[in-house]
Structure 1
């Protein structure tokens, strides 16, 4: 017995399925409109991240980042680097590109700070969606509200700085990992590579995300396809092409600086303890200096 449908019948079945899928998507989206959790989370996260932003921190780094975006817009330039890091290398330009949007609107950096607040408000909402999908509604509500009101994430969500754009990108990265490892679906590896590349460009400490990425590959090797790897590598080459141009034009000066810094002898101290105190501090002060 042949259990396959003839081509004409199969096409008719596919055509009949598409309206039902569209109706299902509309029902799901419509149901979110009546989920009171989201409105509460948006209210708390949005208010705390957007209220009185004209009093937020604005130092040399903030002025430099926004001025680079503003000058790129005014003069039609394509930034290939961002601000200089503490060890002397140039950061990648990924943080400049989204800031060019508020730079078009106004020369006032307040609107760029508003963008940072909106990015981090979206991160809180993504936290709710992520936790609700994999751990349940109650856990999602508690997690999102804790994240929305936590002191240090709130502090870093209220001023202009390239690492402060990381939160929504990392949440999307976690979605990609769980898509492959937990749900055993294919197609996650390409966006995961792209997101880890964007995260690295926002700040080099995101290199640590390679650890959960490798763990995901080990736990779900059957979900990784060769075309995802090819697309991921191509996307990384694309987003890093401006920075590669800088390295070529500067004769890889940043690489030599990094190698020089890597030769500094290792030492033991208690800085890690102070940083943990800083992280856990409820009033937002750095206990290292107290």
Structure 2
């Protein structure tokens, strides 16, 4: 029996090991997926839009997607369409809508392994896959709905298919071209930088390798792109190219940000941030940020910034890792004789360099989500370093590096999961969050508990709900109240009603400041109920502050002012009006 088991393990160790890694990755991405979900402004926006389409039909889906950060430019709508399909399959709930993100995150695990097997052996590919599976960065971005969260899968699919296209002896170049077109059409609608960069990388690969493919496949390539971009094309025709104008504005305005900062200084900041976030992707920890150090005032640094020097050693290490990884990559590329492996190294280097250049003008506003574009880049550099030590008979160094990184990754996930599990019940202190930029740990479970509490009181006395909350969570609470449904409104600065249940939802740290400020002038505190990191203050309006007895909820809602973003049609409007441009119709 023992001999058979030993023989089985010896013959099947690879399948067993990779299965365990996949299961760990799936577990970390799906464990308490619903309860610990991140549900704030952008997620509520999507959920509201998708709910409308589920209730009234797919004709309510828009022809443009969400706005690109910091501009009025709108991305493509493909993420909304995927969310709609997810809601049909898994339910019209925040969890159901986010199901598509979870699925593609899980699918990225085997794709990640196949991608790195193009160059690295099974041992290093498994080591890199293990780190990717437990990376807190990728675990967290797989647990809620947001358009950039699909980037890791589709970026990997794009590069994998491109490498198959330019492979000299590849027999299915045409089929891989169609797959590449599919991934390109989706990825470029998920992020502004992807829209700019990926077509350039595709053109570089095709032209550099002088790839020849049957023209019929090229027609298919163009057809797929036109099909996925047809909603945007129709919307552009109807609006006279408003979104295209915003695209050119976004390029010039983003490039012009921080005009007082020299391009050299921006490049240095970009380099420090890139190496820092590469470290975050690999370890889940942010102990390498030395941008806070004021090198122009070193004398007073220790007194002005107590913790600034703490991150300095790891900051230097992450910066050196980036440089050494690049240098080793160039070195092995020059020595590599296998054409496909040479292409793999070159394409990775070109991508790292190109993204770095694109980030230089944006250096002052680089945020964590930007590095979803570089999902595999730090793992590539790490693989190059590990491979170097294995080849030079210093395997022990590679194993030490791997064990340190995997330990840090597991520890980071464990700490975050512990905080998420306690957030609805304890006012926990959490370290600065470099991944999601959360000020406080607030979960979907916590928000639903607060909604249940307010609705219970409303049902008992039959009076409507009036509430205020931090802007990050206010829309989320509105979404749940609308879904139930319940009579509710924001707390008005002008109208205070005698009939109503008044609540203020605040983080405990800001509670006293908020209540002793504006609220105490018009309200009397009845009680405060703690829901972990958030507290719900129940209030009663003071007699002198009351303006009316009850709010008339039958009054039509006030029209919202039109956004400065380009007009976004829904399919119903297109079907009702036809494809004739409104300006042409007026003529």
Under TM normalisation by the shorter chain, which class is it?
Answer: 0.7 to 0.9
User: Alpha carbons of 1:222 and 1:160: their partners in 2 closer, same or farther (altered >3 Å)?
Assistant: closer
CA distance in 1, matches of 2:87, 2:179: 28
Structure 2: how far apart are the matches of 1:35 and 1:248? Answer: 53
Matches within 5 A, 1:83-232: 83-86=66-69, 87-104=71-88, 105-185=90-170, 186-187=173-174, 188-206=176-194, 207-232=196-221
Give the match for residue 35 of structure 1: 15
Aligned to 2:285: 283
Structure-1 residue corresponding to 2:54: 73
User: Does 258-267 or 242-251 show the bigger shift?
Assistant: 258-267
Q: Distance in 2 between matches of 1:61 and 1:275?
A: 25
Over alpha carbons, which structure has the higher Rg? 2
Measured against aligned partners, the alpha-carbon deviations of 1:60-87 in whole angstroms (never above 9, x if no partner) come to 1111112222222221124312222220
- Checking the alignment, whether the CA contact within 8 Å between 1:88 and 1:257 is kept in structure 2 is yes
Q: 1:274 to 1:255 in 2, by over 3 A?
A: same
CA distance in 2, matches of 1:128, 1:60: 34
1:63 lines up with 2:44 in the alignment: yes
Alpha-carbon offset, residue 127 of structure 1: 0.8
**1:250 CA drift (Å):** 2.1
Pairing 1:45–2:28 present: no
Instruction: Report the more deviating stretch, 256-265 or 40-49.
Output: 256-265
In the aligned structure 2, how far is the partner of 1:114 from the partner of 1:194?
21
**Given that residues 142 and 149 in structure 2 are in contact (C-alpha distance below 8 angstroms), is that contact kept between their aligned partners in structure 1?**
yes
Q: What TM-score comes out, normalization by structure 2 length?
A: 0.41
Which residue in 2 is equivalent to 1:245? 234
Q: How does 1:248-267 map to 2 (within 5 A)?
A: 248-264=237-253, 265=256, 267=259
Counterpart in the other structure of 1:20? none
Change over 3 Å in CA distance of 1:92–1:111 after alignment to 2:
same
| Matched residue, 2:420 | none
Name stretches of at least 5 consecutive residues in structure 1 with no aligned partner. 1-30
Task: Please state whether the residue corresponding to 1:224 is helix, strand or coil.
Answer: coil
Native 8 Å contact 2:165 2:211 kept in 1: no
Cα 1:68/1:38, change in 2 over 3 Å: farther
More displaced stretch, 179-188 vs 276-285: 276-285
State the Cα distance separating 1:237 from its structure 2 match: 0.8
Q: Which moved more, 1:46-55 or 1:71-80?
A: 71-80
In structure 1, distance between residues paired with 2:27 and 2:274: 28
**Larger helix proportion of the pair:** 1
C-alpha distance in structure 2 between counterparts of 1:89 and 1:164, whole Å: 19
Asked if the contact 1:46/1:118 (under 8 Å) is kept, the reply is no
Question: Is contact 2:117-2:125 (8 Å) kept?
Answer: yes
| CA shift for structure 1 position 228 | 2.3
Inter-partner Cα distance in structure 1 for 2:210 and 2:274: 36
Match of 1:175, SS? Answer: helix
Ranges of 4+ aligned residues in structure 1 off by more than 4 Å: none
Cα distance in 1 between the residues matched to 2:102 and 2:200:
28
Bigger strand fraction: 2
Q: How far is 1:136 from its partner?
A: 2.7
Q: Deviations over 1:100-140 (max 9, x none)?
A: 13322423211233331221111012111232354332122
Give the superposed CA RMSD.
Answer: 2.8
C-alpha distance in 2, partners of 1:64/1:152?
Answer: 23
Report if aligned partners of 1:181, 1:216 keep a CA contact under 8 Å in 2.
yes
Alignment partners' CA distance in 2, 1:218 and 1:261:
28
Deviation (angstroms), 1:283: 2.5
Q: Distance in 2 between matches of 1:142 and 1:241?
A: 42
Asked if the contact 1:189/1:232 (under 8 Å) is kept, the reply is yes
- Does structure 2 conserve the Cα–Cα contact (< 8 Å) formed by 1:184 and 1:223? no
| Counterparts in 2 of 1:118 and 1:191: CA distance versus 1, 3 Å | closer
Work out the CA distance in 2 between the residues paired with 1:167 and 1:40: 21
Structure 2's unaligned 5+ residue stretches are: 1-10, 287-432, 438-587
Distance 1:181 1:128 in 2: 20
SS of the equivalent of 2:188 reads: helix
> What SS does structure 2 have at the residue aligned with 1:38?
helix
1:190-233 CA distance string (max 9 Å, x none): 33233212110122221312233123213432433322222111
